[in-house]
Amino acid sequence: MVRIVVGNLPRYGVTTVATNLLSAVECKNVTSDGAGVRKLHDGDGLYLWIYRDGRKYWRMRYWQAAKEKSLSIGVYPKVTLSDARKKREELRKQLQADLAPSAERKAANLRKKLSAENSFETVALE
């Protein structure tokens, strides 16, 4: 299924963005074709990066404060196409709420680290 989104961007006018361009079979069988990195897009900023040695990574491109940024979503096949699309939608919601996805990820990792440091075992060993 291909979804066409028409959005009104203030600086660039009207744009049309196709989504869900990749299939699970394509993701599984794709190679880099001799290039160092091959990038296949699925729409709305979601890309599958394929390296020459066969590694495959999901990445999300987005723009914030007039700067292009990129965020890693995960490694294929551990993160499937449908999982990557769900994560893309979550990141899009954060962007619409004017939150920085990379800053949110860093804050979540910091919270995990602090909660692990404040465990009962850590306090008991002091």
Domain ranges of the chain: 22-125
Do β-strands 46-51 and 37-43 pair in parallel, antiparallel, or remain unpaired?
antiparallel
Confidence of residue 123 (pLDDT cuts 50, 70, 90): low
User: Residue 100 CB: number of other CB atoms within 10 A?
Assistant: 16
d(CA 65, CA 68) in angstroms, rounded, equals 8
CA contacts within 13 A on the Cβ side of 117 = 6
pLDDT at 126: 66
pTM: 0.72
**In terms of Cα–Cα distance, which of 82, 97, 104 is closest to 23?**
82
Q: Which CATH architecture has domain 22-125?
A: 2-Layer Sandwich (3.30)
The two most distant CA atoms of the chain are separated, in Å, by 61
pLDDT at residue 51 in the model: 94
Residue for token pair 């196709």 = 18
pLDDT tens sequence across 18-73: 677 889 999 999 988 888 999 998 988 899 999 999 999 999 998 888 888 889 99
Q: Which residue has the higher pLDDT, 108 or 119?
A: 108
How does the average pLDDT of the chain come out, rounded? Answer: 81
CB 31 within 8 A of CB 52: no
pLDDT given at position 16: 52
Distance CA 45, CA 61 (A): 5
